[in-house]
Amino acid sequence: MRVSLQSSAMFSFGGCMIANDKTPSPVSSARRLARRLKLAGVIVLLLGLGGAGTVYFLETRPADLSGDLSMVGYGRAETRQMEILYGKSGDLIEDWSNDLKQPGTQAFIIAAVSAVIACGCFYFARLSEHDDETG
């Protein structure tokens, strides 16, 4: 006995055959795009948070500088030289530059940028789903 399954699906439950004439509707391109955007947002967020944690963990390891006496007083002389050459604005820019070199600041920037990108992906996925429902 041969059964043709063109547009209907056949299911067997306890020896009884049930036919389903409904064909699965194809997923619209807008829903597929929304699903991909959501997946991309989750991946970006997870990678960003993981990268931020890794940067913070690796960069906060203490370096052994206890024997380096040549650096004593170097920061004061460097600050004075910057103030003489560039004034207070140069000192401010140098402070900001030094702050950007801190591992906590770097980790925060990485996490914030990944969160903004992920939010953008989620926002555009929502817009795509909304357009699919109304259009």
Residue 40 and residue 121 in contact, taking contact as beta carbons nearer than 8 Å: yes
Q: What is the pLDDT along the chain (135 residues), one digit of tens a residue?
A: 444 444 444 555 555 555 555 555 566 888 899 999 999 999 999 999 999 999 999 998 877 665 566 666 667 787 788 788 888 888 888 888 889 999 999 999 999 999 999 999 999 999 988 877 776
For 17, residues 6+ apart whose C-beta sits below 8 A from its C-beta are 10, 11
Q: pLDDT value at position 130? A: 83
Q: pLDDT value at position 6? A: 47
Tell me the backbone φ, ψ of residue 131, rounded to 5 degrees: -65, -35
Q: pLDDT value at position 8? A: 46
Residue 54 and residue 107 in contact, taking contact as beta carbons nearer than 8 Å: no
User: Residue 115 carries which side chain, given as an amino acid letter?
Assistant: A
* Whole-angstrom distance, CA of residue 130 vs CA of residue 135: 8
